[in-house]
């Protein structure tokens, strides 16, 4: 970092800073903040740091909470969503009378993703009963999430609900399924209107309504807009390419009122397009600033990796200026792509190869497990289990993160939910025999599925009508010996704890039940969650999720369809929460889940790794023959590209647009992954997919072209 660049960062008032990942942009932003705090004596709360996602703010949170920062009010670090919510809360008296609410005197109840799904579910269930979605292949919970996604994107883009669905009809191709798809979209449109009407009637503020209130009222009311723009004098807006058009428009309006601003953009990024990111809006932000500064040197990539990024761009016909490698001892002539000596026919062979290579890197070459990532377009339970088991045999820990996965799909969460149902028989939710077997397998350390099944069959027989658990001590001696007295004693202790909880007359909220069960039993020696970091993370997420759900329901007491209070021993809120999670609802953003142990290999979908913004030494790309590396998920009720101001309002989505978008997406994905790699990329290839289908996806074809170019060069 040269003195000239630092001087520019300090001297220029409105600066746009661009460059590849790893070129030091965030480091320069932190240097500017420290300069403002120390040299300019700026109050911390006069500085606003805006990021696209809470997890992207981690470098600022860590750096600005240290002891070297001058005393005083802290720097405000938030997202557009956080700023919008705080503004709606602060200026609520101004908004309530003009927002179309049924009762402007009522205090707002803010909904997160989980509580929004809970309130929308009734409308989706009614539509399913009418057969409105019979013509499309989509699950109930995916209908809910896609309809919510449409509402959110419409609000961020400034569309009405009807305008959004008119655009979505442009993406429906001609053919036999067109009528069914159009009918499903119109049903989704009706659900969107019904949900919005419920929110206005009961003063429930979901994300889409929150954004509309902020954009259409806070920013148009002269008093609230002036007060907001005077609340901070300096702005740091990082990863502008990953943020939404609403966030970028806010920055454009705010810039003339600021004393200084530093806007930061990553080259060839914009990975959150499916969540509403608008990388095309970066150019307008850059043109508004007084000066533009570009960093070209990568402090992450080796010369060999830089050369590989250039070859990929040329192969895809998208040649762009390559970063300059700082150099880390690897020659530019070395090939950073490592492929197996012989191709694998079957998927498990590829997994075994990856496990063996990681074990060799860690045990023989001294690589740190925390500097190795395993990436795939999708991470299934089978893939995670196979890798976890193989690495465990080699003494290597594995950490995973799948944020788009339903909470109930996590085994630890399902075990806790099953135990909650057994502890609350008055809910009337009888856990299935298989779920109880899974819960005992995970809850009691050393309990294998066979003995857990045997114990469940005897202590919790399916023919028993009541939700009751028998005691291990009541089993015949032969069965006790087969299960073992050690495991039986641990089971009896767990059962006694559940029955002691049943006997207490006080109402315990479900989140506190989960916390007590984890802390008093499951995390103790002899139980399955002891020293299991993944299970602890899931348990903590479940506690936080249940608590937020309870707060939202209590706040909405008396609202349409919302329980006013607990009935008896948590009959309403606790039971409704369990029903919500077991229905497959997606979990809200959980920041601790994005923080993984530094001594564990990290497994995640490729885009999840990109949004962690953390470089590693070695990447493994698994199943590169899969089409999922460039294909979008099948989402018949939503479309991220036509729900954008950049797409013409009356132009149908074509096969050509789909192809070019996929090509650009693949290019951005590969550049993003490589720019977060210091040393090497290992390529996992198998002729047949996990499901047994032969595969020859575009990424595999691209790799073959690159290898052919290397031989002929």
Condensed to tens digits (0 to 9), the pLDDT of residues 91-148 reads: 999 999 898 898 999 999 999 999 999 999 999 999 999 999 998 888 999 999 999 9
DSSP 291: E
Lowest mean pLDDT among 12-16, 101-105, 581-585, 689-693: 689-693
pLDDT the model gives residue 417: 96
pLDDT the model gives residue 8: 63
Which structure tokens are listed for 37? 């705090």
The set of residues, in sequence order, having a beta carbon less than 8 Å from that of 471 and lying 6+ positions away, is 459, 492, 495
Average pLDDT, the chain: 89
Report whether 165 contacts 183 (CB < 8 A). no
Angle between helices 113-130 and 140-157 (to 10 degrees): 120
Pick from 173-177, 476-480, 693-697 the range whose average pLDDT is largest: 476-480
Verify that 429 and 565 share a domain, yes or no: yes
Give the residue, 558 or 131, on which the prediction is more confident.
131
Q: How confident is the model at residue 324 (pLDDT cuts 50, 70, 90)?
A: low
Q: Model confidence over 89-106: pLDDT tens digits?
A: 999 999 998 988 989 999
Residue 241 has pLDDT above 70, yes or no: yes
pLDDT the model gives residue 333: 57
Verify that 486 and 363 share a domain, yes or no: no
Q: How confident is the model at residue 568 (pLDDT cuts 50, 70, 90)?
A: very low
pLDDT the model gives residue 30: 93
pLDDT the model gives residue 437: 95
pLDDT the model gives residue 591: 76
Which structure tokens are listed for 301? 């990539």
Verify that 133 and 202 share a domain, yes or no: yes
Rounded Cα distance between 527 and 540, Å, is 17
164 sits in which H/E element:
helix 161-169
Using the 3D structure, point to which of 159, 177, 211 is the last residue of a domain: 211
Count of domains forming the chain: 4
Using the 3D structure, point to which of 238, 268, 295 is the last residue of a domain: 295
Q: How confident is the model at residue 569 (pLDDT cuts 50, 70, 90)?
A: very low
Give the residue, 117 or 344, on which the prediction is more confident.
117
Verify that 350 and 438 share a domain, yes or no: no
Angle between helices 533-555 and 411-423 (to 10 degrees): 50
Residue 712 has pLDDT above 70, yes or no: no
Percent of the chain's residues with pLDDT above 90? 61
Q: In whole angstroms, how far apart are CA 217 and each of 63, 222, 435?
A: 35, 9, 49
Mean pLDDT of 690-696: 81
Q: Model confidence over 602-626: pLDDT tens digits?
A: 999 999 999 888 999 999 999 998 8
Verify that 345 and 233 share a domain, yes or no: no
**Strand 337-338 to 677-683 pairing:** parallel
Residue 212 has pLDDT above 90, yes or no: yes
Give the residue, 590 or 41, on which the prediction is more confident.
41
Q: Give me the DSSP letters along 357-409.
A: HHHHHHHTS---GGGEEEEESS--HHHHHHHHHHHHHTT--EEE--TTSBGGG
Mean pLDDT of 431-438: 93
| 310 within some domain | no
pLDDT the model gives residue 563: 47
Give the residue, 499 or 330, on which the prediction is more confident.
499
Verify that 401 and 413 share a domain, yes or no: no
Rounded Cα distance between 569 and 196, Å, is 32
Rounded Cα distance between 28 and 51, Å, is 15
Which structure tokens are listed for 385? 């289990």
pLDDT the model gives residue 669: 92
Verify that 603 and 550 share a domain, yes or no: no
Verify that 387 and 536 share a domain, yes or no: no
Verify that 76 and 135 share a domain, yes or no: no
| 96 within some domain | no
- 3-state SS, one letter per residue, for 476-531: CHHHHHHHCHHHHHHHHHHHHHHHHHHHCCCCCCHHHHHHHHHHHHHCCCCECCCC
Q: How confident is the model at residue 332 (pLDDT cuts 50, 70, 90)?
A: low
| Among the listed residues 257, 215, 211, 207, the one whose alpha carbon sits nearest the alpha carbon of residue 235 | 257
| 307 within some domain | no
Residue 228 has pLDDT above 50, yes or no: yes
Which structure tokens are listed for 190? 């009706």
pLDDT the model gives residue 5: 67
The set of residues, in sequence order, having a beta carbon less than 8 Å from that of 199 and lying 6+ positions away, is 111, 119, 205, 206, 209
Residue 565 has pLDDT above 50, yes or no: no
| 98 within some domain | no
Give the residue, 468 or 333, on which the prediction is more confident.
468
Q: Model confidence over 511-535: pLDDT tens digits?
A: 999 999 999 999 999 999 998 888 8
CATH for 63: 3.40.50.300
pLDDT the model gives residue 658: 92
The set of residues, in sequence order, having a beta carbon less than 8 Å from that of 485 and lying 6+ positions away, is none
Q: How confident is the model at residue 7 (pLDDT cuts 50, 70, 90)?
A: low
Give the residue, 214 or 477, on which the prediction is more confident.
214
Domain of residue 130 covers 107-211
pLDDT the model gives residue 570: 45
Q: In whole angstroms, how far apart are CA 253 and each of 87, 215, 250, 256, 288?
A: 16, 11, 5, 7, 10
Verify that 226 and 283 share a domain, yes or no: yes
Residue 567 has pLDDT above 50, yes or no: no
Using the 3D structure, point to which of 562, 583, 604 is the last residue of a domain: 583
Angle, alpha carbons 487-383-579 (nearest 5°): 65
pLDDT the model gives residue 644: 94
Residue count of the chain, please give it: 713
Looking up tokens 């789909």 gives 658
Looking up tokens 């390559």 gives 322
pLDDT the model gives residue 707: 76
Rounded Cα distance between 309 and 306, Å, is 5
Per-residue exposure over 41-72, b if at least 16 CB sit within 10 Å of its own CB, e if not: ebbbebbbbbbbbbbbbbbbeebbeeeebeee
Mean pLDDT of 574-584: 92
| 317 within some domain | no
Verify that 150 and 237 share a domain, yes or no: no
pLDDT the model gives residue 325: 67
Per-residue exposure over 211-243, b if at least 16 CB sit within 10 Å of its own CB, e if not: bbbbbebbbebeebbeebbeebbbbbbbbbbbb
Verify that 651 and 702 share a domain, yes or no: yes
Cα–chain center distance at 503: 39
Rounded Cα distance between 133 and 603, Å, is 35
Q: What's the start-to-end Cα distance of the chain, in Å?
A: 35
Q: In whole angstroms, how far apart are CA 648 and each of 159, 275, 533, 645, 661?
A: 13, 19, 48, 7, 15
Backbone angles phi, psi at 708, to 5 degrees: -65, -40
| 202 within some domain | yes
Mean pLDDT of 267-275: 88
* Burial group, residue 107, by CB count within 10 angstroms (0-12, 13-18, 19+): exposed
The set of residues, in sequence order, having a beta carbon less than 8 Å from that of 407 and lying 6+ positions away, is 413, 538, 541, 542, 545, 581, 585, 586, 587
Residue 561 has pLDDT above 80, yes or no: no
Residue 4 has pLDDT above 70, yes or no: no
Pick from 32-41, 75-84, 288-297, 313-322 the range whose average pLDDT is largest: 75-84
Lowest mean pLDDT among 172-181, 254-263, 368-377, 420-429: 172-181
Q: Model confidence over 15-74: pLDDT tens digits?
A: 999 999 989 999 999 999 999 998 888 898 999 999 999 889 999 998 988 777 888 899
Residue 400 has pLDDT above 90, yes or no: no
| 328 within some domain | no
Percent of the chain's residues with pLDDT above 70? 93
The CA R_g of the chain, rounded to the nearest whole Å, is 27
| 93 within some domain | no
């Amino acid at each position: 970092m040269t003195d000239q660049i630092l001087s520019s960062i300090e001297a220029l008032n409105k600066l746009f800073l661009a460059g590849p990942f790893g070129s030091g942009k965030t480091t320069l932003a932190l240097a500017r903040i420290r300069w403002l705090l120390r040299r300019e004596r700026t109050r911390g709360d006069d500085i606003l740091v805006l990021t696209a996602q809470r997890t992207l703010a981690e470098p600022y949170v860590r750096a600005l909470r240290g002891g070297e920062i001058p005393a005083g009010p802290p720097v405000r670090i938030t997202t557009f969503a956080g700023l919008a919510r705080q503004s709606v809360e602060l200026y609520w008296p101004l908004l309530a009378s003009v927002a179309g609410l049924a009762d402007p005197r009522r205090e707002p109840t803010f909904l997160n993703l989980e509580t929004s799904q809970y309130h929308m579910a009734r409308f989706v269930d009614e539509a399913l009963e009418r057969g409105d979605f019979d013509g499309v292949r989509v699950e109930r919970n995916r209908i809910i999430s896609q309809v919510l996604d449409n509402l959110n994107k419409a609000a961020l883009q400034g569309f009405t609900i009807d305008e959004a669905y008119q655009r979505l009809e442009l993406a429906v191709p001609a053919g036999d399924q067109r009528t069914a798809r159009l009918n499903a979209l119109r049903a989704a449109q009706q659900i969107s209107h019904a949900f919005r009407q419920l929110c206005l009637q009961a003063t429930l503020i979901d994300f889409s309504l929150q954004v509309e209130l902020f954009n259409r009222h806070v920013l148009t009311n002269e008093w609230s807009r002036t007060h907001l723009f005077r609340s901070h004098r300096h702005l740091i807006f990082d990863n502008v390419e990953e943020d939404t058009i609403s966030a970028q428009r806010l920055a454009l309006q705010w810039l003339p009122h600021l004393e200084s601003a530093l806007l930061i953009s990553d080259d060839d990024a914009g990975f959150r397009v499916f969540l509403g990111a608008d990388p095309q809006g970066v150019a307008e932000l850059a043109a508004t600033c007084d000066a533009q500064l570009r960093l070209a040197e990568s402090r992450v990539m080796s010369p060999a990796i830089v050369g590989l990024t250039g070859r990929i761009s040329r192969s895809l016909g998208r040649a762009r200026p390559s970063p300059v490698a700082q150099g880390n001892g690897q020659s530019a002539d070395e090939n950073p792509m490592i492929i197996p000596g012989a191709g694998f026919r079957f998927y498990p062979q590829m997994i075994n190869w990856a496990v063996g290579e990681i074990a060799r890197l860690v045990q023989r070459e001294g690589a740190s497990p925390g500097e190795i990532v395993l990436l795939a377009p999708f991470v299934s339970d089978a893939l995670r289990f196979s890798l976890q088991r193989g690495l465990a045999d080699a003494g290597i820990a594995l950490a995973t993160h799948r944020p788009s996965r339903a909470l109930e799909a996590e085994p630890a969460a399902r075990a806790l939910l099953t135990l909650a149902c057994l502890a609350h028989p008055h809910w009337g939710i009888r856990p299935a025999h298989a779920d109880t077997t899974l819960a005992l397998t995970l809850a009691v350390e050393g309990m294998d599925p066979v003995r857990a099944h045997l114990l469940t069959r005897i202590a919790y027989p399916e023919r028993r009508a009541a939700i009751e658990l028998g005691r291990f001590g009541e089993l015949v001696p032969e069965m006790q010996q087969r299960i073992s007295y050690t495991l039986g004693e641990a089971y009896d202790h767990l059962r006694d704890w559940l029955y002691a909880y049943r006997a207490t007359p006080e109402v315990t909220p479900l989140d506190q039940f989960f916390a007590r069960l984890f802390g008093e039993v499951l995390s103790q020696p002899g139980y399955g969650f002891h020293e299991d970091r993944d299970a602890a993370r899931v348990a903590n997420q479940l506690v936080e999720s249940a608590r937020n759900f309870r707060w939202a329901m209590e706040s909405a007491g008396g609202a349409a369809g919302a329980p006013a209070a607990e009935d008896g021993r948590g009959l309403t809120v606790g039971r409704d929460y369990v029903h919500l999670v077991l229905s497959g609802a997606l979990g809200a953003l959980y920041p601790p889940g994005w923080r993984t142990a530094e001594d564990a290999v990290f497994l995640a979908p490729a885009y999840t790794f990109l949004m962690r913004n953390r470089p590693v030494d070695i990447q493994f790309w698994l199943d590169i023959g899969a089409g999922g590396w460039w294909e979008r998920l099948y989402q018949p009720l939503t479309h991220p590209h036509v729900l954008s101001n950049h797409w013409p309002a009356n132009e149908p989505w074509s096969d050509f647009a789909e192809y070019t978008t996929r090509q650009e997406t693949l290019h951005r994905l590969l550049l993003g992954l490589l720019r977060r790699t210091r040393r090497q990329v290992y390529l996992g290839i198998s002729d047949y997919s996990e499901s047994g289908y032969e595969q020859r996806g575009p990424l595999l074809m691209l790799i073959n072209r690159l290898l052919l170019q290397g031989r002929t060069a």
